[in-house]
Amino acid sequence: MYSSDYNKSPPPQKEPPNQAPAVWSSGLCDCCDDASNCCITWCCPCITFGRIAEITDKGETSCGASGALYCLIALLGCPCFYSCLYRSKLRKQYMLPASPCGDCLVHCCCGSCALCQEYRELKHRGFNMSLGWEGNMERQNMGVGMTAPGVQGGMNR
């Protein structure tokens, strides 16, 4: 073997085919499609954000903790830099496009509309936002036999 054989790189691996990105179920400015959430988000965005964060994190963080952190960041400055991280997570989970522009820009310019759109997207995907992650998992598993089968009569003499 020649020394040049050791310097050869392995053949390139074929990458899996890319799937086309999905589309958002509603537009950024379709806030009035869910009037109750629109009002809640306008008055207290920490509630909407907390619900989105809990579902997006798959229960790793609670709605209350995420909402409180959002509120604290809002009091100290601009919460859009925190909330845009969750928009990015949501987009990656569901292969959604960064539209109409980047996540941070959407949250900095239209924070309430962005939160409403993310909330509607999760609802569209079957989540009951008021139940949280655990409640949605329980609802999803309903009807699945989770108990041990009944034992028929024991030994008789």
Of 89 and 144, more confident: 89
User: Are 139 and 131 a contacting pair, CB within 8 Å?
Assistant: yes
pLDDT at residue number 152: 54
Does 56 reside within a domain? Answer: yes
Report the number of distinct structural domains present in the chain: 1
Residues 110-157 pLDDT 10s? 999 999 999 999 999 999 999 999 999 999 888 554 444 444 555 565
Q: Is position 60 within any domain?
A: yes
In a domain, 149, yes or no: no
Q: Domain for residue 108, yes or no?
A: yes
Instruction: Please confirm whether the linkage preceding 100 is cis (ω < 30° from 0).
Output: yes
Residue 7 within any structural domain of the chain: no
* pLDDT band at 99; cut points 50, 70, 90: confident
φ, ψ of residue 2 to 5 degrees: the values are: -95, 160
Domain encompassing residue 63: 29-133
The confidence score (pLDDT) of residue 119 equals 95
- For the stretch 6-40, pLDDT in tens is 444 444 444 445 555 689 988 888 877 778 888 99
pTM for the predicted model, two decimal places: 0.76
- What pLDDT sits at residue 40? 92
Mean pLDDT across 70-98: 94
What residue type is 138 in one-letter code? E
Q: Which of 122, 115, 113 is nearest to 85 (CA)?
A: 115
The answer to whether residue 100 is domain-embedded is yes
Choose the weakest-confidence range: 32-36, 49-53, 67-71, 120-124.
Answer: 32-36
Residue 152 falls within a domain, yes or no? no
Mapped onto helix, strand or coil, the DSSP state of residue 141 is helix
Tell me what pLDDT residue 157 has: 58
| Residue 127, in any domain of the structure | yes
Structure tokens at 9: 């790189």
